[in-house]
Structure 1
Amino acid sequence: MPAVGANFRAAREARGLSLSEVAEDIHIRAVYLAEIEAENWRAIGAPVYVRGFLRTYARFLGLDPEEAVAEFNRTLPVAPGLNSQEHTAVMPERAPRGLSPLIWIAGVVAVFLIALVIYNAVTLRRSAPNQIVAGIPSPTVLPSVTPMASASPPLVQPNTLSLRISAPSWIRVTIDGNVSMEGTFPAGTAKSFHGRAALVRIGNAGGVELLVDGKPVGKLGGPGDVVERSFAL
């Protein structure tokens, strides 16, 4: 089976496109596209960004994005003792005799809280975008995000990703490998982020508009569409 980088380069050249022309269309820098075709994965960054770039580039070229990601995954080293095709859930061990009951109780509470967080996240993603929700709780934003004043936005700096929300939507934004924003946000919310690479997942793509360095990217989908997209800033 031909290497993924060779497939991408052959498909691009068959269309008569240069790297700079592709970069302009899919908002991924030409230098990253060149690294993909050379399969120089370390120069791109963490595997999560490589996978996002591969999916976007593959869709543009008319290739199978999941096949490209699977081929990339086969190049990654497998940790000793792990089967790459099997993921076994690790159950919490019963507290050994002699340990304080408080330690056992703390473990049970921790497992319950993790399950509750996962359940809430799944429920938010499946909720209909046009459903009227009474009393939407205030979104939980990590301390690294600086709230932006929607009435008087600052000058746009380079390497900036901006979001403008016109309808309630669940959103998660990962900047340089760190989750900078996650939760359900009401219409009228505006956020900006600075970094090298961004991964955005939106639960209501029709209600969120994105801008890169002040230039509109537009909406990534229609109302209710769940969309994930990566950007090189």
Structure 2
Amino acid sequence: MSKGNFPEDERPIEDVSQDVPEGVPAESRPSVGRVLHQARIAAGLTVDDISTATRVRIAIVHAIEADDFTPCGGDVYARGHIRTLAKAVGLDPAELLAQFDAEHGGRPAPTPAAPLFEAERIRPERRGPNWTAAMVAAIVAVIGFVGFTFVKGDDGSTEASVAEGSRPSAGESASASAEPKKPAAPKPAPTDSAIAAAPRDKVTVKVSATQGPSWISAHDHNGRQIFDGLLKQGDSETFQDNEEVRLVLGDAGAIQLYVNGKTIEDDFQPGSVQRLTYTKGDPQAG
């Protein structure tokens, strides 16, 4: 039988309440993992139930309830897991996140978004003299001189015929002037779908918080963090990289994604944490 199939088997010997009277030292308060564990037991849920509802791996749920946040991969990811687990067991995530920040050195400062387009530095190459181009230019000059000499030595009949034949007739001139000029086609007005015109040799991802606020983290293909912060409802951020963009969505159900100008129609559950990676060929489907 797998661990966590029966919530009553995980009930601790001593019950520790989340509510602590005022004036009690912070050291005597239950830990973040302890509070989540007690709330899950009180809700009659197993670890398997929590993992299925939140898509957080069973091993990570066990580790967090034991106050071991190492498997989360860092404080940023740990905060996202705490928020998701707290919502799943009916707790207010704000209090637990404040306690976690106080115990782990405070909330990390958000990293400003990287510029959407960065100018590429091109190093000039030192090249030797282009002898091929010089030879072609010399040959063209010789041919032009010979042709000019030949035309100049002629009796001028060619020039007269060309000049005479170049004169338009009265009918042609009248028809040309009578023909109205077609108006130029109006330029299309810019729309919000301008992201579709992003370069094809790059991957462009737009993240919009349409259903509510959500914490967002974004990295480029080198693992460099280009954004980490909270998007309020109605806010958007756009990220671009030469190869791929990696995302972590704290509340994927509140987010609408646009990848390379196309809408991503994934049905993310509210409060779920999602780790996504998009490349230049995405979306391949959906």
Could you say which TM-score interval applies, normalised by the shorter chain?
0.3 to 0.5
Structure number having the greater strand percentage: 1
Rg larger for: 2
Q: TM-score of the superposition, structure 2-length normalised?
A: 0.38
* Superposition TM-score, scaled by structure 1 size: 0.45
